[in-house]
Amino acid sequence: MKTFSLSGISMFVFTAFFMLVGVSPAAASLDAAINTYVAPVAADLSSVIFYPFPLMGHDVPFIVIWFVAIALFSTVYFRFLSLRAFGLAWSLLLGKRAAVGNSQGRGEISSWQALATSLSGTVGLGNIAGVAVAVTMGGPGATIWMIVMGLLSMSTKFMECTLGVKYRQVSPEGVCSGGPMYYIRQGFADRNLPKLGRFLAIIFAVCCIGGAFGGGNMFQANQAYSMFMRVAGEGSFFADKAWLFGVILAVMTGAVIIGGIKSIARLSEKIFPAMTVLYVGACLAIIALNAPMLPEAVATIFRGAFTPDAAAGGFIGAVIAGVRRAAFSNESGTGSSAITYAAVKSDNHIEQGIVSMLNPFIDTVVICTMTALAIAVTGVYQAGAGVEGVTLTASAFATLGDWSIYLLALAVFLFAYSTLISWYYLGEKAFCYLAGSGTPQKMAFKVVYCLVIVIGAAANLGPVIDLSDALFFSMAIPNVIALYLMAPEIRRDLKAYMQTDKNKNGASA
């Protein structure tokens, strides 16, 4: 695998780039060519990953069942650790509790930077548009099931991030590499299944690269441009220059990723709090402005969670919508956050796993819930067919005034930009696992990743996004298999850690 060729990929991306910045027919022919070759593959893979299982009159995608199963298993198997160790996680993150491990040990970033970088990758446009889709599909009651799934997913996040730190590799220069590729390979090898482990690790890495280029890159650039044009207007300078917007975004991204994980983490720890305060603050303002409607909105959410009417899709419809949004939002089960946490400055993997549980809580329980409440309290979800996704969220923001479109546009841009930067690191680590971690490989990936941003902003790549979504959620298949296999090992380590923590701090979760 170390001889993985870069020439074919580079040639394709460079050719696509020059076609895009040329005349529009070339761009159109590029779209047509991509659709011709990619659409059938995307359809085949999606038909497997999103294979529908009938349940009480609803089609439940296979991948949703896969996510729910590991979330329930991890929560019960670790005796509701997400609740028992919730306070401990915050204490460790804020430095209010003496760490068992060395917080200045091997690694490149702090626990806070790891959490911020991980959240920058998971908190994205799905928190703005995806939640609105869940409310449209399952009614306001989907919010309750979204929260439930977010809480259950905390234990899944604990498992994968714990393994990410434990099985990471640190070079003599102090550069960390880790994630599902590494713990899948080693975990299966330790159980006398080396060939299967290597195969599943490669599958994960390939899917991670696909997810990074698609959902982590092209989709973010495309939606950022779309939102920008909604503010700028069709008569603006950028109306027919999507490629130029992509170039600017690529330059901004390249300026950060050139410095690696330390540079990414430094920006993430600043941009994530800013975008979170901005967005949550706006949602709270919407809720406050519509305060008289809050009791009825909350009552509607609870009624819809258990006894929704037929128009909202029924009980199962609300459950599916909420669970699917939560699973797709916080990425627990895909293993993506484990790659980031592998770079943390600590020699105690359990401790970092506990801190990582805050990711689904902040992403889903807090931020996604704010979006859902803003939509529910304004009643915009009752507008009827044709209003969904970011349009529905924009309608809720409009209650603040006409100027709110600029606020939402800024939030969309920050969410997209932070996701672009964070997913670069995940994609690079997966690529280097396959192609080698030398400087030429890393530089080649940086160049290709930035050029793909231009393509994402300028082209209509529906089938590519479909393919990348399928690849992204395919990451969960090898990763979750490894989590089941290695769960007893994690539980032994957790028990030992809790005892050590009790001896050191006088209390334990």
CA 257 to chain centre: 18
According to the model, what pLDDT value does residue 18 have?
44
8 Å CB contact between 222 and 31 = no
- Pick from 428, 453, 442: nearest CA to 251: 453
Which CA distances in Å does 86 have to 91, 297, 354?
9, 28, 8
- The predicted-structure confidence for 349-400, as pLDDT tens digits, reads as follows 998 899 999 988 988 888 888 888 888 888 877 765 555 566 777 788 888 8
The reported pTM is 0.83
Burial of 224 (0-12, 13-18, 19+ CB in 10 A): buried
Q: Indicate the range of 171-175, 333-337, 465-469 predicted with least confidence.
A: 465-469
Q: What is the average pLDDT value for the chain, to the nearest integer?
A: 79
According to the model, what pLDDT value does residue 194 have?
93
Q: Is 50 exceeded by the pLDDT of residue 16? A: no
Percent of the chain's residues with pLDDT above 90: 19
Better pLDDT: 275 or 449: 449
Q: In 379-403, which ranges are continuous DSSP H helix?
A: 390-397
8 Å CB contact between 371 and 193 = no
Q: Is 90 exceeded by the pLDDT of residue 485? A: yes
According to the model, what pLDDT value does residue 315 have?
55
Q: Tokens 């979504």 label which residue?
A: 469
Better pLDDT: 21 or 73: 73
Q: Indicate the range of 166-180, 233-247, 273-287, 336-350 predicted with least confidence.
A: 233-247
According to the model, what pLDDT value does residue 451 have?
87
Confidence of residue 318 (pLDDT cuts 50, 70, 90): low
Confidence of residue 29 (pLDDT cuts 50, 70, 90): low
- The predicted-structure confidence for 426-478, as pLDDT tens digits, reads as follows 999 999 999 887 888 888 888 889 888 888 787 766 666 677 678 788 889 99
Confidence of residue 484 (pLDDT cuts 50, 70, 90): very high
Q: Is 50 exceeded by the pLDDT of residue 13? A: no
Q: Is 80 exceeded by the pLDDT of residue 33? A: no
| Topology of the domain comprising 7-505 | Amino acid/polyamine transporter I (1.20.1740)
| Domain map (residue ranges) of the chain | 7-505
Reported as half-sphere exposure (CB side, CA atoms, 13 A), residue 204 has a value of 32
Q: Is 80 exceeded by the pLDDT of residue 401? A: yes
Better pLDDT: 414 or 384: 414
According to the model, what pLDDT value does residue 319 have?
65
